[in-house]
Structure 1
Amino acid sequence: MSISHVLRVSNSGLSPSTRWLKLVWAFLPAALLSVLVGCSSAVTKLETWEGNPATAVNAATLKAPGAIQVSRVNGRAMTNYLMDDLALDYALLPGENEVVFTYKTIWAKTGVVENGESKVHVIESKPQVVRFEARPDETYRFEFDKPSSRRQAEQMLPEFSSAIVGPDGQALAQSSNWSQADNTVAARTPVPGDQVVGEEAVSGDGMSALNRLKAVWATADDEEKKAFLRWAFE
């Protein structure tokens, strides 16, 4: 018996609009599943730079599990996705990189849940920042203690920290708390060492002072821009 035969039998005697709604609801779960599968395969690796830098062909990879949500890389905001537990790989240009992230886990509630109350406990850390030098074509990952219960997750949260581990298993850097006031890194392309372009000296991130100011301005929010203008014209 085919699905079309079942639908014809179950829809007999229903109005056209009711039959249409039933058909939509019948195929909606499959459609949503296919969309989610497509999204997860399409966003498994994210570039963290703008433009087409030459060193992109030798980009390193930073693997972030579902509990780690990366918000910024080198001052550039990363895309947020609807699924909190989506594991992602981030492509990093060789050189010094700064990664801002939060640690977030979700635990189901065991007791009775009132109407309108969330069915889960959300355990989320303060923003963390870690800085390390990425080497061409290398793969890095986050390493941190993984709690076995909600109580354990809550206890470890105030002191949460994650290491960045290289391909040899050695920890290269340890994360620490980050705040918006620490956002001194402009969106940039990592460039190892100091360089001179023409007659204009640039810093290790490959940017002149003017370009750095422009990049910082682009990442500032409205309040920060107002505060800067008040300072500049005083």
Structure 2
Amino acid sequence: MRISRVTAVCKSLLAGMLVLALAGCASSISRVETWDGEPANAAEAATLKAPGEIQVSRVNGKSVTNFMMDDLALDFALLPGQNEVVFTYKTIWARSDVVENGESKVHVVESEPQVVRFDANPGAVYRFDFEKPATRAEAEQMIETFSAVIVSDSGQEVASSSDWDPRQSVAARTPVTGASAEGSGAAATGTALEQLKSVWATASEEEKRAFLRWAFE
């Protein structure tokens, strides 16, 4: 009995940590810096707004995917000048047929990785613009030729995306400083919450669902 109570308490604490982490993510990573170190022109950064359907994975060779949820609407801070943004388009649709045990209750429609390159003006605001399907059938049909455009805050189209070839990807915009490298190492061996975030970022969708069922059961 005592062991069961301890297990229940541990699950409650872990679930609480997860909720706090999710809440923290929603409030603290709404604007994501896409560089390493402290570049001099960071104060003049432009902003690229990405809705939940657009999942940015790399900016100028730097990975920006370490988030606990992959359907967040995020703002990405871009250094002025040429930028390369790699992303995928992903939508989730509820299933209408009978779901067997262990099967997913949703259909996922996801594009191949796309890349868009454009010059960002200091302090400017950009956003993704793309066709929004009304049904899963429409989404599956458009995914074969999917492309998004980048639109400025004045409504001008500045670039359109194409299929991403990793062999043509750019290197990271700025080097990692000594302090940043030390910070990354500390995170790898940091608190339980930091380790939980790290593990969550690499987990599959099915593993995330299984963990949530365990944590809140």
- Structure 1 residues 29, 150: closer, same or farther in 2, change over 3 A? same
User: Aligned equivalents of 1:159 and 1:175: distance in 2?
Assistant: 11
Match of 1:186 in 2: 171
- Structure 1 residues 56, 24: closer, same or farther in 2, change over 3 A? same
- Find the partner of 1:104 among 80, 86, 90: 90
Residue 125 (structure 1) shift: 0.5
Match of 1:90 in 2: 76
Match of 1:61 in 2: 47
One-letter amino acid of the structure 2 residue matched with residue 180 of structure 1: P
Q: Would you say the 8 A contact 1:140–1:167 is kept in 2? A: yes
Q: Would you say the 8 A contact 2:124–2:153 is kept in 1? A: yes
The 3-state SS of whatever aligns with 1:115 is: coil
Q: More helix per residue: 1 or 2? A: 2
Larger RCO: Structure 1 or Structure 2 (Cα < 8 Å, ≥ 6 residues apart)?
2
The 3-state SS of whatever aligns with 2:100 is: coil
TM-score for the superposition, normalised by structure 2: 0.74
Q: Would you say the 8 A contact 1:66–1:85 is kept in 2? A: yes
The 3-state SS of whatever aligns with 1:141 is: strand
Aligned pairs for 1:152-167 (under 5 A) are 152-167=138-153
1:56-112 deviations in whole A, cap 9, x for unaligned?
011111111111111111122223323121111111001111111110111121111
**1:78 maps onto 2:64 in alignment:** yes
Identity between Structure 1 and Structure 2 (%): 59
User: Aligned equivalents of 2:14 and 2:62: distance in 1?
Assistant: 36
Unaligned runs of 5+ in 2: 175-217
User: Aligned equivalents of 1:128 and 1:40: distance in 2?
Assistant: 25
Residue 156 (structure 1) shift: 0.7
One-letter amino acid of the structure 1 residue matched with residue 36 of structure 2: E
The 3-state SS of whatever aligns with 1:99 is: strand
Residue 24 (structure 1) shift: 4.8
Match of 1:5 in 2: none
TM-score for the superposition, normalised by structure 1: 0.69
Paired positions, count: 174
Instruction: Give the superposed CA RMSD.
Output: 1.8
Q: Would you say the 8 A contact 1:71–1:80 is kept in 2? A: no
User: Aligned equivalents of 1:28 and 1:51: distance in 2?
Assistant: 33
Residue 55 (structure 1) shift: 0.5
Q: Would you say the 8 A contact 1:65–1:87 is kept in 2? A: yes
One-letter amino acid of the structure 2 residue matched with residue 176 of structure 1: S
Q: Which has the larger radius of gyration?
A: 1
User: Aligned equivalents of 2:134 and 2:155: distance in 1?
Assistant: 23
Match of 2:156 in 1: 170
Residue 37 (structure 1) shift: 0.6
Q: Would you say the 8 A contact 2:129–2:151 is kept in 1? A: yes
Deviates more, 1:44-53 or 1:18-27: 18-27
User: Aligned equivalents of 1:32 and 1:54: distance in 2?
Assistant: 36
Q: Would you say the 8 A contact 2:25–2:68 is kept in 1? A: no
One-letter amino acid of the structure 1 residue matched with residue 45 of structure 2: A
